[in-house]
Chains A and B, each alone.
Chain A
Amino acid sequence: MNYTDQIREIASRLLENGQVDMVMAWEKGAFDYQSLPYVARSLEDIDKMIFDDYCVHNLSTSLLRYRDSNEKIGIVVKGCDSRGLVRLLEDNQIKRERLYIIGVCCSGVMDPLQAMIANSGFSRIKDTSGLAAKCANCIQPNPVIYDELVGATQEARGPANRFEKVSEIENMSVEERRAFFEDVFSRCIRCYACRQACIACDCRTCIFEETRPQWVGRETSISDNMMYHMVRSMHMAGRCIDCGECERVCPVGIPLMLINRKLIKEVDHLYGPYEAGMVYIEGQKPPFSVYDEKDQDDFI
């Protein structure tokens, strides 16, 4: 998949006729397997812009940096990323008219981070030519919202076993499950990269940054770590768009998508049918942003 020419053409046109002030896409890093987020603000910047198999990042999250400005922004999104745009629009984080959305029908990408780790002597894994973990179970390779589309429409890939691992955990005994999660969460170094990479985390002040009062302690102890993850995961309910960025960026390999998928499953089951960001309808809100008398409350 290489849409560099198409993306450059569109970006030049948009910048030239003043339709946007900047275009968010990618550029190449130091290695073939490294693509990184890039913002073009003028025609001179266009030469660097690319779209290839390593454009894994969900750029919609970067829009949060511009939520208080007035610039018009062109943004390149894959199928999964486009669902992030829907979430931002639903949460009134950015106005639709400020965006020009260049949607890419995505045949799956590879993860430059895994390739960097493998090629730099930090891992035994040598082959990183496979699709990124998130792409293997992609349910939405085609953008759900766009102004212009690039590439041919793609089939969803293996959505059937998206909840396989979730069921595995559900079938554990309570003790087994506790042991599993204690082991997993004890590794967390609380760098908050999972939060920063996340499109669902669009709060201006995150609860973990509150100091008066401080809701969650900053120790890397099992209790503070558990608390962090419990709060984080609850806040993903009905918001996670399955883009996999949190799990991808975690430096200690915590299976965050396992937890997110459980919540996707539960929200769909209790308040659904629902899956976050699959369709944009003006004024529509996700289940946890509205109150409905018919909402389930038998657990109270």
Chain B
Amino acid sequence: MKYFKKGQIEKIIDRLAEKADVYVPMLRGQQSGFYSWKSYDENYDDLIFDLLNVYSPPKNIVLPQTEKMYSFDQQGQEIIIKPEEIPVEPNVIFGIRSCDVKAIEYLDEVFFTRTFVDEFYKARRDQVTIVANACYNPGTNCFCKSMGVNPLEPEAADVILREVENGYVWESKTEKGNILTKQIEDLLEEKEVELYEPNRFVRKVNYDGVAEKLKDLFDHPMWEKYSDPCQTCGICTYMCPTCYCFDVQVKNWGEEGYRFRCWDSCMYREYTQMAGGHNPREAATERFRNRFLHKLQFFNERYGTPLCTGCGRCVVACPAGVDIIRMIELIKGAEPSV
């Protein structure tokens, strides 16, 4: 087994950073997320390989919250359109958990498959090498296993780190992973170490049959009841590693300007606002229902899997305590109303 001591981790990141922009999990003041190692300030930032996960999901690395698409300039009768150069520096997401790796796999489905390849997403995604950190100690609100994610074997990872006593095992899985291994070869030792027994999950849920069942529950009174506490704030979608909705908007000054896309959320009224003034999801209940239907039914119908990796963020972050695990249970227990 290839192995390195915990004390070596910064050296390893430093080395990888010679050839790529390396994103690492940090607490940065009040924030918690994956930030570029280039921006690491030891007086202010705190590396958190010892914590379960970062609060803000890493999806912004492949799908930035705001992204310019092209700019335009109208000169007389002519319109000059300038495509935006997408920065293509290679990068490494270092220490990402299985749930968040799976989320990137789902984004890949959305942006690469079913006849359309999104060039902005592709440009960024192609540059990513994933160094995942296997989970032997799931958090209180983790339920990835229930959602078909293996916390120890993230599929799309190029390298898997396995925490062991005093160090990490480095396990390369792909060609991209092997390139990184070469780069840090002298920092790795060959050593037989004992892997931890994975701890049990505190929370579990059974998703079987939920997508099918939801087909009959669109008009069920449960949505009214369970959406009562929801403030339609959108935190659950912005903090979710899988939510990928975006809007395309424009900024212009006189004759020139640019188009950009930015994250959007089905929890917002504006999301379904139509030009004529009609809004098919005017009420909070309708928006609340859409979030669960998209995650648990519609996405499954299109891609054969729910749009939830069980990372638990929405459960933790919802200011009103709305809990997708509980929602799945309630859906399973609901009597279809005729």
Contact = CB atoms under 8 A, between A and B. Distances in A.
Interface stretch (A79-87, A112-120, A276-284): A112-120
B17 interface: no
Nearest to B32: A122
A211 B317 contact: no
Contacts of A39: 225, 228
Contact of B320 (A36, A211, A253): A36
Interface string A197-232: 100000000000101001001111100000000000
B246 to A, nearest CB: 10
B229 interface: yes
B323 A37 contact: no
Given A120-B141, A187-B31, A218-B247, A252 B56 contact: yes
A174 B226 CA distance: 48
Contact of B262 (A37, A220, A249, A252): A220
A122 B56 CA distance: 10
A47 to B, nearest CB: 15
Nearest to B27: A124
Contacts of A62: 228-229, 231
Contacts of A36: 229, 320-322
B139 A121 contact: yes
A120 B312 contact: yes
Interface string A160-189: 000000000000000000000000000101
A218 B262 CA distance: 7
B52 interface: yes
Contacts, number: 139
Contact of B51 (A113, A124, A189, A251): A124
B269 interface: yes
A10 interface: no
A253 B317 CA distance: 12
A78 interface: no
A65 interface: yes
Nearest to A116: B316
A249 B273 contact: no
Contacts of B235: 191, 193, 249, 251
B251 to A, nearest CB: 6
B66 A221 contact: yes
A120 B233 contact: no
B325 A252 contact: no
A166 to B, nearest CB: 19
A30 interface: yes
A223 B54 CA distance: 27
B251 A219 contact: yes
A288 interface: no
Contacts of A124: 27, 46, 48, 51
A121 B228 contact: no
Interface string A122-143: 1110000000000000000000
Contact of A38 (B228, B268, B315): B228
Contacts of A249: 231, 233, 235, 319
B77 interface: no
Most chain B beta carbons < 10 A, residue from A30, A219, A251 = A251
A248 interface: yes
Interface in B289-338: 312, 315-317, 319-323, 325-326
Most chain B beta carbons < 10 A, residue from A57, A189, A253 = A189
Given A187-B31, A193-B233, A251-B235, A120 B46 contact: no
Contact of A121 (B31, B53, B249): B53
B220 to A, nearest CB: 16
B234 interface: yes
Contacts of A248: 319
Nearest to A119: B140
A143 to B, nearest CB: 21
Contact residue range for chain A?
Answer: 35 or more
Contact of B29 (A192, A221, A253): A253
Contacts of B325: 30
Contacts of A119: 140
B239 interface: yes
Contacts of A31: 140
A132 to B, nearest CB: 12
Contacts of A191: 233-235, 238, 265
A34 interface: yes
A60 interface: no
B234 A37 contact: no
A211 B269 CA distance: 12
Contact of B30 (A34, A187, A218): A187
A62 B227 CA distance: 11
A42 to B, nearest CB: 11
A260 interface: no
A55 to B, nearest CB: 11
Contact of A197 (B142, B251, B268, B319): B319
Contacts of B52: 120-122
Contacts of A107: none
Interface in A27-51: 29-31, 34-39
A117 B55 CA distance: 9
Contacts of A37: 228-229, 320-321
A12 interface: no
B234 A192 contact: yes
B231 A196 contact: yes
14 contacts: A30-B203, A31-B140, A34-B321, A36-B321, A121-B51, A192-B234, A197-B233, A209-B269, A218-B66, A221-B66, A245-B319, A249-B235, A249-B319, A251-B235
Interface of B: 27, 29-32, 46, 48, 51-56, 65-66, 139-142, 203, 225, 228-229, 231-235, 238-239, 247, 249, 251, 260, 262, 265, 268-270, 273, 284, 312, 315-317, 319-323, 325-326
